[in-house]
């Protein structure tokens, strides 16, 4: 990562402010596109904050659940195929809990305000 200024966070804040300014001054599809752009930058911002930690934690859980080594994307594929095929039916509570936690992780990045109070990030 570059040590030069502005850092990634500062760049995001700057461009997001620009898009929000455009949204405030425009109408119709231009306003909507600008709001979508600002929203997507806030997703990037939160993914930078939480993504690596979430990946690490999910990898650990899936390694235990699936009993093998691999990358997170391999794990997702394995998990989905095994759940779909009924191979994790006997470990259903653990499989469901993992999927639920993974979804809460994703919403924490996409739109944390959407989560029920019990799942709000601390």
Partner 1 sequence: MAGATEQQALLDDIVAKLELALQRRYGQAARVENVSIATLGASNRTLLFDLVEATGRRRLVLRQETLKSEVSPFISPHDQFEILKVVFRHGVLVPEPIFELEPEDGLDVGYVMACVEGETLPKTLLNAPEFAVARKRFAAQTGEIFAKLHAIDPSEVDFLEKVVDSVDPLAAQISRYDAYCEYHPGLDVGIRWLENNRPKDKPRVFVHGDYRNGNVILGPDKIEAVLDWECAHIGNAMEDFGWVCLRSWRFGNIDQPVGGFGPRSELYQAYTSNGGQAIDEEEVRWWEIFGLLRWAVLNMMQADGHITGVRRSLPFACCGRNTSMIEYDMLMTIKGHFS
What is the number of other CB atoms lying within 10 angstroms of the CB of residue 69? Answer: 9
Which residue has 């924490």 as its token pair? 108
Near partner 1 in 50-89, by CB under 8 A: 73, 76-77, 79-80, 83-84, 86, 89
Which residue has 């999910």 as its token pair? 58
H or E element at residue 55: helix 28-66
The total number of residues shown for the chain amounts to 122
Near partner 1 in 14-43, by CB under 8 A: 32-33, 36-37, 39-40, 43
3-state secondary structure of 15: helix
Nearer to partner 1, 18 or 99 (CB): 99
Please report whether residue 91 would count as binding partner 1 according to CB under 8 A: no
Q: Which residues bind partner 1 (CB under 8 A)?
A: 32-33, 36-37, 39-40, 43, 73, 76-77, 79-80, 83-84, 86, 89, 95-96, 98-100, 102-104, 106-107, 109-111, 114-116
């Amino acid at each position: 990562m570059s040590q030069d200024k502005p850092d990634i966070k500062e760049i995001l804040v700057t461009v997001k402010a620009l898009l929000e300014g455009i949204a405030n001054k425009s109408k119709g599809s231009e306003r909507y596109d600008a709001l979508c752009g600002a929203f997507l930058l806030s997703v990037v911002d939160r993914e930078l904050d939480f993504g690596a930690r979430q990946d690490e934690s999910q990898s650990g859980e899936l390694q235990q659940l699936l009993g093998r080594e691999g990358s997170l994307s391999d794990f997702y594929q394995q998990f989905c195929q095994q759940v779909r095929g009924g191979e994790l039916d006997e470990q259903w509570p653990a499989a469901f809990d993992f999927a639920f936690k993974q979804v809460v992780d994703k919403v924490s990045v996409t739109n944390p305000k959407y989560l029920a109070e019990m799942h709000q990030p601390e």
